[in-house]
């Protein structure tokens, strides 16, 4: 009998648990994940793996769970440099009296580049492999993502008022499309139109964004129904709630990623379902700014795609998806008055596969599936805070912290190795952040 030939591959990761997210509620124990050319080649029992494959690089993570890397579907990454700058204020006061003036004074290419470096370093150390950004100088954010090796959806920002990035809506749109064209074939960087909010973007640019988003087949990423003030202002100005205005403009579609959504009635939830809109839930930012509660239980009951985002570190004040996931699960139960709402497996899905679906990346990432990119996070459950382990998914959602993330791969590249960043200079990034903090503090009378 002829012996089967052992196949040589790039990397094998042996793990105590593999949680693929697809299929639902699946946990593999004592399994191995095989990586070849940046993609998942196989997932199989470790005993069988050793007979079938040999590899250049082998990792034995016998106390770890492997999960798909987290997908943070709403960030203002470079605002990490504003972390803690103006805390404990309601949204509009926070924006108009503190954030917008500071942005006008300090935001430039260097600010965005070094702030995004800081954010990416933090996100990788917390297990995030993809982020969806919205901010000025998206070219700087794209460069930072490219250099680090993380996967990113870069927001093509649109806002009615001029900034250091663009002078008017046509300029924002022109520069955004140029950036899209620059990265359209990049293996890790995609783009999304990012009109800031209905109260900062008028009808004409929104209509142009709709046309271009459909033409280019890229998402639209917008703050929507974030506060009651937003609703009241829209009714006073337009005679319509913001969602109704966007429906009239034709923006409600599967391309739309609506961020926050704390002010929703039942008719609007039905409308969102009919148009296939994805909801980006940012529970910790919403809580900190007292914006309201996204009705996650009602949305998931309607099978609306709910994803998870941290928002920026200026209003959170971290980019910690494990913390965000736990808060989302707990808050959903409290708001619904039902402890069965958003169970652990579903919470993990909001932080991974659901985000990939919203970004149009679910054929590439979001689950540990053969043929998809090897975007992987390893979480060590062999620590005092995680014992005993009855259900590893429950332990990840309700007990683990980002300090338990040990390793991260994006498209098979090892970006976090035993807590150490491999593509970023942690000391330089920290020093840059300290210098920006001094500058902003000294020149803002904080």
Q: Please name the CATH architecture into which domain 7-68+367-421 falls.
A: Roll (2.30)
pLDDT digits (tens, 9 = 90+) for 158-212: 999 999 999 999 999 999 999 999 999 999 999 999 999 999 999 999 999 999 9
How is the chain split into domains, by residue range? 7-68+367-421, 70-358
- Partners of 67 in beta bridges: 377
Would you state the pLDDT for residue 445?
Answer: 64
pTM of the full structure: 0.97
Instruction: State how far the Cα of 25 lies from the Cα of 154, in Å rounded to an integer.
Output: 31
Is the pLDDT reported for residue 52 higher than 80? yes
Would you state the pLDDT for residue 3?
Answer: 58
Would you state the pLDDT for residue 443?
Answer: 86
Instruction: State how far the Cα of 359 lies from the Cα of 377, in Å rounded to an integer.
Output: 19
Is the pLDDT reported for residue 1 higher than 60? no
Instruction: State how far the Cα of 298 lies from the Cα of 269, in Å rounded to an integer.
Output: 8
The answer to whether the beta carbons of residues 223 and 233 sit under 8 Å apart is: no
Would you state the pLDDT for residue 91?
Answer: 81
Instruction: State how far the Cα of 46 lies from the Cα of 40, in Å rounded to an integer.
Output: 15
- Residue holding tokens 């540990």? 368
> At what angle are helices 109-125 and 426-444 packed, to 10 degrees?
130
Strands 306-308 and 278-281: parallel
pLDDT digits (tens, 9 = 90+) for 284-300: 999 999 999 999 999 99
The answer to whether the beta carbons of residues 223 and 196 sit under 8 Å apart is: yes
Would you state the pLDDT for residue 92?
Answer: 83
Mean pLDDT within 213-232: 97
- Partners of 193 in beta bridges: 156, 220
- For residue 386, the 8-state DSSP code is G
pLDDT digits (tens, 9 = 90+) for 372-395: 999 999 999 999 999 999 999 999
In CATH, 70-358 is 3.20.20.140: yes
Mean pLDDT within 368-373: 98
Is the pLDDT reported for residue 2 higher than 80? no
**What is the percentage of the chain residues whose pLDDT exceeds 70?**
99
Would you state the pLDDT for residue 95?
Answer: 83
């Amino acid at each position: 009998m002829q012996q089967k030939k052992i196949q040589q591959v790039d990397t094998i990761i042996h793990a105590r648990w593999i949680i693929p997210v697809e299929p639902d509620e699946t946990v593999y124990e004592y399994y191995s994940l095989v990586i070849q050319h940046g993609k998942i080649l196989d997932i199989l029992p470790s005993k069988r793996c050793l007979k079938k494959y040999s590899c250049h690089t082998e990792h034995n993570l016998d106390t770890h769970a492997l999960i798909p890397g987290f997908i943070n579907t709403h960030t203002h990454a470079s605002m990490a440099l504003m972390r803690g700058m103006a805390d404990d204020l309601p949204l509009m006061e926070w924006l108009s009296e503190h954030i917008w003036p500071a942005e006008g004074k300090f935001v430039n290419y260097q600010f965005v580049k070094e702030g995004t470096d800081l954010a990416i370093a933090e996100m990788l150390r917390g297990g995030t492999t993809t982020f969806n950004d919205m901010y000025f100088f998206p070219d700087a954010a794209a460069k930072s993502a490219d250099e680090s090796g993380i996967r990113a959806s870069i927001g093509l920002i649109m806002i009615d008022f001029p900034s250091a990035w663009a002078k008017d809506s046509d300029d924002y749109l022109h520069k955004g499309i140029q950036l899209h064209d620059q990265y359209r074939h990049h293996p890790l960087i995609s783009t999304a139109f990012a009109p800031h909010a209905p109260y900062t973007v008028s009808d004409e640019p929104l209509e142009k964004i709709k046309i271009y988003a459909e033409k280019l087949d890229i998402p639209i990423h917008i703050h929507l129904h974030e506060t009651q003030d937003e609703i009241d202002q829209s009714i006073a100005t337009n005679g319509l709630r913001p969602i109704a205005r966007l429906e009239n403009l034709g923006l409600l579609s599967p391309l739309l990623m609506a961020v926050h959504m704390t002010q929703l009635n039942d008719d609007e939830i039905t409308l969102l379902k009919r148009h296939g809109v994805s909801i980006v839930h940012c529970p910790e930012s919403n809580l900190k700014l007292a914006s309201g509660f996204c009705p996650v239980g009602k949305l998931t009951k309607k099978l609306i795609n709910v994803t998870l985002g941290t928002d920026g570190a200026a209003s959170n004040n971290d980019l910690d998806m494990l913390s965000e996931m736990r808060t989302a699960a707990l808050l959903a139960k409290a708001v619904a008055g039902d402890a069965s709402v958003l169970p652990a497996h579903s919470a993990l899905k909001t932080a991974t596969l659901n985000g990939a679906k919203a970004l149009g990346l679910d054929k590439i990432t979001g689950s540990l599936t053969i043929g998809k990119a090897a975007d992987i996070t390893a979480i060590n459950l062999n620590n005092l805070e995680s014992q005993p382990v009855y259900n590893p998914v429950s332990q990840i959602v309700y007990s683990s912290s980002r300090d338990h993330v040990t390793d991260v791969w994006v498209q098979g590249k090892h970006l976090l190795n035993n807590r150490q960043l491999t593509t970023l200079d942690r000391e330089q990034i920290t020093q840059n952040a300290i210098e920006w903090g001094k500058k902003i503090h000294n020149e803002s009378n904080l």
